[in-house]
Chain A
């Protein structure tokens, strides 16, 4: 079993929809939680970065971490065609020394 499991997708939604992307993990030592966005033929770029449990909001994006359930989510409000990309969750803990990535969810937002 992988340390980080990500909803596989692909996901296709109409413009303006609310999108929920999710990951679960098994390592309770993970402390930092990240979401990366990857456009086609580009490297992943950091979208959201959170520490421990709680919510963090940045514009249309909200990252949610529930450490008790070992579950993290990324919500996108009022989704736009420009949000079409692959989204990767990642986690880091002091005992690991390196980030562990999910396999990614490909999102398409249709105009």
Chain B
């Protein structure tokens, strides 16, 4: 079991650029979550999918953020255009059932200058 795989581990970009974060959940897990973590706001849920369908995107901060899950083994979180306040660590997590614990990836550290 390779765990949840996220790429890239680090991303540094300039304000206004498009950023795409990628996630491969654990095989067999039906739910996938995108979180953002900062010192000020802690761990925030952005969006989650069940069986590849977005269920709750109320945490997505603005229209600049979008997420897709084209199949059970891949998801992307896109920020376009990026802003300095988007700088944070973005985590992807997956789980096999709603009441089961989450398995987190090691995150993507995003810096927008």
The main secondary structure of chain A at its interface with chain B is: loop
What 1/0 mask marks residues of chain A from 80 to 103 whose CB sits below 8 Å from any chain B CB? 000000001010101001110111
Contacts of B4 in A (CB 8 A): 43
The answer to whether B104 and A43 have CB atoms under 8 Å apart is yes
Give the residues from 28 to 56 in chain B that come closer than 8 angstroms, CB to CB, to chain A: 33, 42-43, 45, 48, 55-56
Bound CA span A45–B91, Å: 12
The answer to whether B101 and A43 have CB atoms under 8 Å apart is no
- Partner of B43 from the list A31, A46, A49, A88 (CB cut-off 8 Å) is A88
Given the interface contacts A98-B33, A98-B48, does A46 sit within 8 Å of B102 by beta carbon? yes
B10 to A: closest C-beta gap in Å: 10
Q: Which residue of A lies closest to B59 (CB)?
A: A98
Task: Count residues of B near A (Cβ-Cβ below 8 Å).
Answer: 20
The answer to whether A99 and B102 have CB atoms under 8 Å apart is yes
Bound CA span A97–B97, Å: 10
Let me know if B105 is at the binding interface, CB within 8 A. yes
Task: Count residues of A near B (Cβ-Cβ below 8 Å).
Answer: 22
The answer to whether B56 and A97 have CB atoms under 8 Å apart is yes
- Partner of B106 from the list A43, A98, A102 (CB cut-off 8 Å) is A43
The main secondary structure of chain B at its interface with chain A is: strand
A94 to B: closest C-beta gap in Å: 7
Given the interface contacts A43-B106, A101-B42, A104-B42, does A94 sit within 8 Å of B99 by beta carbon? yes
- Partner of A49 from the list B45, B93, B98, B101 (CB cut-off 8 Å) is B101
Bound CA span A42–B6, Å: 12
Let me know if B107 is at the binding interface, CB within 8 A. yes
A29 to B: closest C-beta gap in Å: 12
Other contacts beyond A43-B106, A102-B42, A103-B42: 5, CB < 8 A = A36-B104, A44-B43, A97-B55, A97-B98, A98-B33
17 contacts between A and B (CB under 8 A): A32-B99, A34-B101, A41-B107, A41-B109, A42-B106, A43-B105, A43-B106, A46-B102, A46-B103, A88-B43, A92-B99, A97-B56, A98-B45, A98-B56, A98-B98, A101-B42, A102-B42
